[in-house]
Amino acid sequence: MIAAILLFATPLAAQETGKKVAIFDFELVDTSLDGEMLGTTDAEFSRLAMIGDRLRAYYDEHADFTIIGAPEVATEGRKHNLQSCGQCDVKIAREAGADLAVTGVVQKVSNLILSLTIYVRDTESGEIVQMAGTDIRGNTDESWGHGLRWMAKNRLHLIPAK
């Protein structure tokens, strides 16, 4: 009987030790001539969603994290410019019960020069506890995905090294 209780209690205890993470959608800061003339393209909107989904998957696959409030957090986050709202991401994440708020931004200088940055903030202090950034070359699904995977593996340590 005690063995059965321990068998079922262990996964719950393991879950309780992990950090609860609220992951917001990526935002685009486009300072390119293309962006000024044409605005954000459908392909770029699609890429923002793609890298957001992939980042959630990387966190979800990591044993130390539990994603909480994904649809609600993303919906609330879309109402704000998360990079300039005075840490509204921290407030939204804290209200959802998260320990960490994760935001990301893609800065597009041109169709050749872009950068990805991810900020991880503690929801109690508001302090940045982790930050990852990389430059990418090319405004394609492949380059955005590659840049995100590189950061997830080498900066955020969400993907184990082989």
User: Residue 144 sits in a domain of what CATH number?
Assistant: 3.40.50.10610
Domain count, the chain: 1
Residue 100 backbone zone (phi > 0: left; psi -120 to 50: alpha; other: beta): beta
pLDDT in tens, 35-44: 889 999 999 9
Instruction: State the pTM of this model.
Output: 0.85
Higher pLDDT, 125 or 15: 125
Structural domain that includes position 138: 19-154
What is the DSSP annotation of the chain? Answer: -HHHHHHHHHHHHHHHHSEEEEEEEEEEEE-SHHHHHH-S-HHHHHHHHHHHHHHHHHHHHSTTEEE--HHHHHHHHTTS-TTSSSSHHHHHHHHTT-SEEEEEEEEESSSSEEEEEEEEEETTT--EEEEEEEEEESSSHHHHHHHHHHHHHHTS--S---
Q: Is 77 part of any domain? A: yes
Over pLDDT 90: what percentage of the chain? 72
Q: Is 10 part of any domain? A: no
Higher pLDDT, 69 or 121: 121
Q: Is 11 part of any domain? A: no
